[in-house]
Chains A and B, each alone.
Chain A
Amino acid sequence: MTTTTRPGFWRLARARAAIELRIFFRERDSLIFVFFFPTMFLLIFAALMGATDVTQGMDVPQVVNYKQYFLPGMVATGLIYTGFQNLASQIPVERDQGVLKRLRGTPLPPATYFAGKVIAVYVVSVVQLALLLGVAQFLLGIPLPTDAHSWTTFAWVFALGAATCTVLGIAFSSVPRTGKSASAVVVPVVLILQFLSGIYFPFSQVPSWVQTFSGFFPLRWMAQAMRSVFLPDFMVAQEPGQTWALGTGALIMGAWLLVGLALAFRFFRWQPRKDG
């Protein structure tokens, strides 16, 4: 028998990623509620209270207004939406519809399915954040960092944060019982984390026990690390312990990445529960 042209890992991973992207960008729901959402929210909040001075009453060399403060939160939101919320609510639908079961019955190596998801998340996130930052700078006049150091931080926080969110999204996809209930299960988790992690208002205004509590989850550290990128250095004074805590952030995100990997491997299901 001649089986000389068996496709390799990367070819299949790329093919999966291409299909995932096609599906993502053709679904109106994922376009609006995942892809455009952070940009839409930034525009809405900028219109509502963008000029509010978040440094009022502080002894600071320059004023930071709300829309600038809000931007790093929306960057982190983009990552958690595209990585976590998108996958955690989409995979259960694929599972219910039998897409996963069908794939499982083909020679596609399971690892390439996951690789395709990860690649697709990175591609969507890059485009999504480019749009967000473009709108921020050119439409809203929010100053973006110009130094290499900030962008280096941005790059590794982006890479690590997206990986953590993706792996946790895949792991969490085993929680919803059905595809129909998935959004209802996933969205509140993200929303609560966002509020606790100081996405929607200055983190210094969050009670300290909430700051501590949210510190157990990766979103707080993603948001804090992104603030170190997009806010002036003196704003570090507003952070808990007057530090950006990039090292702690990296550790917590890395820990969740490993926990997520273990959970995903242990609990991922290719078939609906009833389908034993």
Chain B
Amino acid sequence: MNAPAISIRGLFKHYGSVRAVEDLDLDIEQGEIFALLGPNGAGKTTTVEILEGYRKRSSGDVSVLGHDPNHAHREWRERIGIVLQSSADETPLSAREYVSHVGSFFPNPRDTGEVLESVGLAELADRRSKTMSGGERRRLDVALGIVGRPEVLFLDEPTTGFDPEARRDFWTLIEGLKRDGTTILLTTHYLEEAEHLADRVGIITHGELVALDTPAGLRGGVDGAIVSWRVGGKHRERKTSTPTAFVQELARKHGKGEGEIPDLAIRRPTLEDRYLELVGHAGRTEA
């Protein structure tokens, strides 16, 4: 068994009286894609930036590729790739110039053309990043994060601003990196992204890890199904572990003469249902 690529033990981060991260324990295995989910302000970026060496922790032990990110050195940085959450980098450099420049910091960079191709910027290689759209610039961010052939790649909300097609392409890229053995820690707002890409998902709210499982495990949970129907023009929903019995009960109550319940549907819980339950939303507010 290999040592985990990322290991977090008892991590705390406080800003004054604000507790951003509370007693976090987590191991991310080599070659794993791990998605960290949670609402804004839950502590995702704080956690990731501690792992990247940008922020100091209040207490706890953290190790990335066997090194403490607080003592980041060049050899360690050569093995890490970072795509930050926000970047508004408006340089007059072309995508090709920028990627090849950042690649030149690394001992064994990827070929610039290949990197641009893989993020779908081959056509825009000579466009200056200033003149790119938000989504195009985000792809450039990803290109700059992977050009050094990182063993561990941090992606902080990488697909914000992508259209659905670009997001699909991005997923293909990430799957390719995984095949090469890259360990990936991803934060995202998009549940289907986590569901599609991640080997495991951690859900974090108020700085605490409230769930940690495979997407299927989270989805399955213990509760069996969600039954929804309409009564008196109002949408109703109920989670139940005995859907068949529940529907029979419903039919007796609301089935009227012909025995049909209006708008009856039974579905397996999605990751989104589980997520919303965990982060404490009453209804479905996020798509």
Q: A residues engaging B (CB < 8 A)?
A: 2-7, 11-12, 15, 19, 22-23, 26-27, 96-99, 101-102, 104-109, 271, 276
Asked if residues B91 and A98 are in contact (CB atoms below 8 Å), the reply is no
Instruction: Give chain B residues whose Cβ lies under 8 Å from the Cβ of A3.
Output: 75, 78, 107-108
A27 to B77 Cα, complex, angstroms: 31
Q: Of B98-106, B249-257, B275-283, which binds chain A?
A: B98-106
Query: Cβ of B54 < 8 Å from any Cβ of A?
Result: yes
A23 to B106 Cα, complex, angstroms: 22
Give residues 11-60 of B contacting A (CB, 8 Å).
Answer: 15, 52-55
Find B93's partner among A6, A11, A22, A106 (CB 8 Å cutoff).
A22
Asked if residues A104 and B54 are in contact (CB atoms below 8 Å), the reply is yes
Asked if residues B105 and A98 are in contact (CB atoms below 8 Å), the reply is no
Assuming the A-B contacts A3-B75, A105-B84, are A97 and B89 also in contact, with contact meaning beta carbons closer than 8 angstroms in the complex? yes
Asked if residues A12 and B89 are in contact (CB atoms below 8 Å), the reply is no
Q: B residues engaging A (CB < 8 A)?
A: 15, 52-55, 74-75, 77-78, 80, 82, 84, 86-93, 97, 101-102, 104-108, 128, 144, 148
Instruction: Give chain A residues whose Cβ lies under 8 Å from the Cβ of B52.
Output: 105
A7 to B90 Cα, complex, angstroms: 26
Closest to B141 in A: A102
Find A276's partner among B53, B55, B78, B88 (CB 8 Å cutoff).
B55
Instruction: Give chain B residues whose Cβ lies under 8 Å from the Cβ of A26.
Output: 92-93, 128
A11 to B144 Cα, complex, angstroms: 20
Asked if residues B102 and A106 are in contact (CB atoms below 8 Å), the reply is yes
Instruction: Give chain B residues whose Cβ lies under 8 Å from the Cβ of A96.
Output: 88
A102 to B93 Cα, complex, angstroms: 15
Asked if residues A98 and B88 are in contact (CB atoms below 8 Å), the reply is yes
Chain A to chain B contacts (Cβ below 8 Å), 10 pairs: A3-B108, A4-B107, A12-B105, A15-B101, A26-B92, A101-B54, A102-B144, A104-B54, A105-B77, A105-B82
